[in-house]
Amino acid sequence: MKAIEEEKFEQPTEIQEKSVPLILAGKDVIAGSATGSGKTLAFASGIIESSEKGEGIQALILTPTRELAQQVAEALRIFSKYKPLNLKIVAVYGGVSINPQIVKLRTADIVIGTPGRILDHIGRRTIKLNNVKILVLDEADRMLDMGFIDDVEKIIRECPVKRQTLFFSATISREIARLAQRYMKKPVEVSAEAYVDPKKLTQVYYDVPDNLKFSLLVHLLNHEKAGLVMVFCNTRKNVDFVANNLKLEGIDAQAIHGGFSQDKRDRTMKLFHSQKACVLVCTDVASRGLDIQGVSHIYNYDIPLDSKDYIHRIGRTARAGEEGKAINILSSSDYDDFRRVERDYEVDVFEEKMPEVERVKIKWTETPFWLKKRRYCSDRQGVRRRNRR
């Protein structure tokens, strides 16, 4: 309790109220909760309560990304710092040398890791899961979306049958339900209302000619009063294109995607968290699990191909009573995906009039994603839009 009070957790979040009593009672739980909802403390409570020093790995937490593994490990260290026995908490993930991880795993009590690196350790016989009491899949939907289903099932089968299993997921998909049916015992399903306050969130879109798409982004970043800003792109190449050209326009932007080394990703996030850089340009995969406070604006430079990713994106603003704005910059190739989002989630998005924009000369010359046709529109309106160019 003392550690929780020091971190200024004044009252439990909805997901904590619903899941913690069940977790402490030893129940298997499927919890519908997004990043920033307080889910880490929810499953940490059961893990810290049941773990003892020196009894092998008693809790295994699987995460989809390196950054989330690091964040969960740090949170567990904070929450457990007043436990009489100093629990050994180890995070393992790819992109860094495996040898230091092998050494740390020998005395680990709690392990947090990405599926690929955990399987690597299993294959090397450098991790022993025979004492695991609690298995957690954090952001389970994202792990499945990223194609980790086979890896996850292999890891689950390495754990004892007699264990407590917890799934935390922003969405409870058919795949999550199937996984639960196979590997959980009478799971209790709980969910929290969206962490984003819809009354505090404004969603707008601009209909922009393809050749002014980047220029509009620059204009809005220079004219919108904003705190921390996240700009989402669908590909690594487009992240590099946007971030590099924003820098050349005098905007302090940082890029993050899966092609960067772990050290570079860490440095980038440190700059953004400290607000030394106020614009983070990223892909969905790279941003997943990053718990960033104080994001005032979300820009969708590309509309995601999966509607769920749109919900994940806008869920990073309008938190904890703060105002937030999601801005969609739509050129001709974005409309099919945008209509899919509107159809799947019935979001309230309003059109904004295109402002007078000075065309920005592109200085960084990698071919931007939006100049490439991803597909032909299936409707006449889409065809008419392309014919106007």
The torsion of the CA quartet 217, 219, 220, 222, rounded to 10 degrees, works out to 120
The torsion of the CA quartet 138, 142, 148, 150, rounded to 10 degrees, works out to 80
Tell me the pLDDT tens digit for each residue of 60-69.
999 998 888 9
* Overall CATH class of domain 201-384: alpha beta
Give the rounded distance of the alpha carbon of 164 from its chain centre. Answer: 24
Q: Is the pLDDT of residue 346 over 90?
A: no
154 in Cβ contact with 119 (< 8 Å): yes
Q: Is the pLDDT of residue 146 over 50?
A: yes
pTM to 2 decimal places: 0.65
DSSP characters over 238-291: HHHHHHHHHHHTT--EEEE-TTS-HHHHHHHHHHHHTTSS-EEEE-HHHHTT--
pLDDT at res. 84: 66
Q: Is the pLDDT of residue 388 over 70?
A: no
State how far the Cα of 280 lies from the Cα of 327, in Å rounded to an integer. 15
pLDDT at res. 344: 83
pLDDT at res. 248: 94
The arithmetic mean of pLDDT across residues 189-214, rounded, is 86
pLDDT at res. 380: 35
| Cβ neighbours, 10 Å, residue 382 | 17
State how far the Cα of 201 lies from the Cα of 323, in Å rounded to an integer. 6
pLDDT at res. 264: 87
Residue 165: strand, helix, or coil: strand
State how far the Cα of 26 lies from the Cα of 38, in Å rounded to an integer. 19
Average model confidence (pLDDT) for the chain? 86
315 in Cβ contact with 34 (< 8 Å): yes
Phi and psi, residue 316, nearest 5°: -95, -5
Q: Is the pLDDT of residue 384 over 80?
A: no
State how far the Cα of 302 lies from the Cα of 331, in Å rounded to an integer. 9
Token digits for 174?
Answer: 């058919």
pLDDT at res. 194: 58
pLDDT at res. 372: 47
Domains 2-191 and 201-384 in one fold:
yes
**CATH fold of 2-191:** Rossmann fold (3.40.50)
Tell me the pLDDT tens digit for each residue of 236-290.
999 999 999 999 999 999 999 988 887 888 889 888 888 888 999 999 876 766 7
Tell me the pLDDT tens digit for each residue of 300-317.
999 999 888 898 899 888
Tell me the pLDDT tens digit for each residue of 353-381.
999 999 998 887 665 444 444 443 333 34
Q: What are the domain boundaries of the chain?
A: 2-191, 201-384
Q: Which band of pLDDT confidence, cut at 50, 70 and 90, is reported for residue 197? A: low
State how far the Cα of 310 lies from the Cα of 303, in Å rounded to an integer. 7
pLDDT at res. 225: 85
